[in-house]
Structure 1
Amino acid sequence: IVSGECTPATLKFLLVQPVKRGKILFSKFIVSVITVLSLILIPQIVGMTVVNMTSDVDASSYPVRIEQKYEKSFDQSSGEIIMKQIPDTSRMVTNTENAVRTIGYQALFILSACSVIFMISTIFKSSMISMAVSVISTIFLAIGTQAISAIRDVSHLLFTTYADAGSLVTSQLPLMYQNPKLTTTNGIICMVVTAIIAYII
């Protein structure tokens, strides 16, 4: 998106109508975020709406448990550290509310991802290099957070961990990464801070 801002077409436009670089970057960022959000979220919303309208079962009112918190505990029988549920930390919501929350967290993740990719695009002038760095870093963090224990312990500080918004809302993410700090609150803070820092850089 931004790596190609030195192309003849863009330079020609700037010569004809000078505009501050900050305005150009901001407009490109907004357009990219809106485009990605539209391409990903609109089909999901339409799909869920069609399913609910055509289904004979009222699945939208089904209860779903969310926001369950965990703590690490030593299991004497197995001699291992396990994830133990903290009593009275979860609550029940309808399937509809669960879907709305999931879409909201997914939108926030997309915003963070766009900010990081936007930052990489501004650092490298070559579109190929920026694309390669984006793909490699994303794959490494996605795989590394589960395969490498040192990274898994700080997975709550990496925005890529919260890509699975559904597991975040239903509290399955802490069990997947064996990290009790993977909560919705920490997820919001991590993704917002990541988006702000990446855009400023």
Structure 2
Amino acid sequence: MYRLITNELQKIFKRRKVLVVSIVFIAIILFFSLVQYKESHKTPVQTIVQNEKYISVYKEEMAYLDADTQKRVKENIAQYKNEIQEAYRAEDLDKLNWKDRIKYQISDDEKKKKLPDIVSDDTKIEQVNAQILSKKYALKNSVPDAADDYNEKALDVFIKMVSYVSLIILPVIICVIVLDVVSGECSPPTMKMLLTKPFSRGKILFSKFMAASIASIIAIVFSELISLIILGIVIGFGSINAPVSLGTKYQFNADKVLAGNWHDVKAIIGSTYVEPQWKVMLEMFGLEILFILAFTSICILISVLVNSNTVSMTSGIIIAVIMSFIVLKIMAGDGSSAGDVPFRKIAPYLINTYSSPGFLLSGDMTSQIRNPDISVGLGVLVNVITGAVCYIIAHIRFTRKDMLV
């Protein structure tokens, strides 16, 4: 079996696809990470100037907008004003040492929970609670970096960016690497030679699955690690013990009904917890590898079912993009479209919903899709069941398929 797997790995890496895909993936992560860093890495003064410009533009356009758009614009203006207040506060706090600064921030956040626009909103309260938990963790574990909200480092940017990029890029990368593993050898001479080896068809398929999975993991995880190292060299790594808030749970909000008679969700107060960045990254990589294994099974199934290499590659990528598009569409929706409701219902059972481990761990996937059924536990279950079912079907089809005609 080991010889079969290494032989399949050699065939995959000889095609240079893994190298090309890895280079492209690294370039994408670095480009968007640096754009994100440039956008978020501003001094308090820069934040104040920029937000005041945004507010001025919004006010000029307000008269030409419809009622719903005006409501969203007013919310944006309120957010910008809040960021301006926080920027002024940050300027004042710069005079303090990091411990006193964090203590002041905690005290200020405790007061913030009593503000009129927050006190009646469980989601906003839990967001403030998450900030308080992070600050208390930093104080307890001596993490000075957490005192400066305007100084993001490579680890901060990396975790955010990988969460976004994974949603659509991850499935496509797996498709490119895996989809021709079986269909690419379906010509009679190639398959005849393969089947003359002293191995059962089941072992041959399993070796292809393992080799494709290993190649995909190398292409994705190693590319991410290389991107992180380059980012760290350019902008600084930051502390691996810096706190990250995770696990926010949500429930349906009976008081807020969206289009299609679908209820919005609200955070469950006290559900958020904090972990250091190094632990979060390990959990992200673990969930990502699980997704890679499951999606590799889907690609193996397509490759077994379709004899044509071109058709296999095209159909697989189209399926991956459509599934990712469904997830992105309902994440981006504001609840005003009744057409999103069927997709919100099935989203917890779509494997692509769990392609972004960062969003899954934080609870953002649950919040944006507006379905509290989405969770890490269900994500693991969906990945395992989907992967197992697809592989079993592929195994049955491959072992019974007549490939000698």
TM-score by length of 2: 0.46
CA apart distance, 1:56: 5.5
**What pairs up with 1:60-71 in 2 under 5 angstroms?**
60-71=240-251
2:292 equivalent in structure 1: 110
* Residue 169 (str. 1) matches residue 361 (str. 2): yes
* Residue 140 (str. 1) matches residue 332 (str. 2): no
Letter in 1 for 2:312: S
Partner SS for 1:156: helix
Identify the structure with bigger relative contact order (alpha carbons < 8 Å, sequence gap 6+): 1
* Residue 48 (str. 1) matches residue 237 (str. 2): no
2:193 equivalent in structure 1: 12
CA distance in 2, matches of 1:40, 1:144: 23
Residues 44-74 of structure 1 show CA distances to partners (whole Å, capped at 9, x for unaligned) of 2244356557865633111111111101103
* Residue 85 (str. 1) matches residue 277 (str. 2): no
**8 Å Cα contact 1:67-1:171 kept in structure 2:** yes
CA apart distance, 1:123: 1.0
Bigger Rg, structure 1 or 2: 2
CA apart distance, 1:94: 0.7
CA apart distance, 1:126: 1.2
2:255 equivalent in structure 1: 75
**8 Å Cα contact 2:195-2:201 kept in structure 1:** no
**8 Å Cα contact 1:66-1:170 kept in structure 2:** yes
CA apart distance, 1:5: 3.1
**What pairs up with 1:89-100 in 2 under 5 angstroms?**
89-100=271-282
CA distance in 2, matches of 1:149, 1:97: 35
Letter in 1 for 2:352: T
CA distance in 1, matches of 2:234, 2:228: 10
Identity of matched residues, %: 26
CA apart distance, 1:42: 1.3
Residues 6-44 of structure 1 show CA distances to partners (whole Å, capped at 9, x for unaligned) of 3223322433x3431111101111000000001110122
1:189 equivalent in structure 2: 381
1:124 equivalent in structure 2: 306
Question: Which residue, out of 200, 216, 219, partners 1:36?
Answer: 216
Letter in 2 for 1:141: M
CA apart distance, 1:140: 1.7
**8 Å Cα contact 1:144-1:152 kept in structure 2:** no
2:397 equivalent in structure 1: none
Greater strand fraction, Structure 1 or Structure 2: 1
Letter in 2 for 1:14: L
Partner SS for 2:253: strand
Greater helix fraction, Structure 1 or Structure 2: 2
* Residue 157 (str. 1) matches residue 349 (str. 2): yes
CA distance in 1, matches of 2:237, 2:311: 49
Change (3 A) 1:144 1:58: closer
Change (3 A) 1:74 1:51: same
Change (3 A) 1:96 1:200: same
Partner SS for 2:185: helix
Unmatched 5+ stretches in structure 1: none
Partner SS for 1:166: helix
Residues 86-132 of structure 1 show CA distances to partners (whole Å, capped at 9, x for unaligned) of 12222110111111111111111111110001011111111122222
TM-score by length of 1: 0.88
Change (3 A) 1:48 1:69: same
Change (3 A) 1:27 1:56: closer
CA distance in 2, matches of 1:34, 1:111: 9
Please, which moves more after superposition, 44-53 or 183-192?
A: 44-53
> What do you get for the CA RMSD once the two structures are aligned?
2.1
Unmatched 5+ stretches in structure 2: 1-180, 331-339, 394-405
CA distance in 2, matches of 1:143, 1:120: 19
2:20 equivalent in structure 1: none
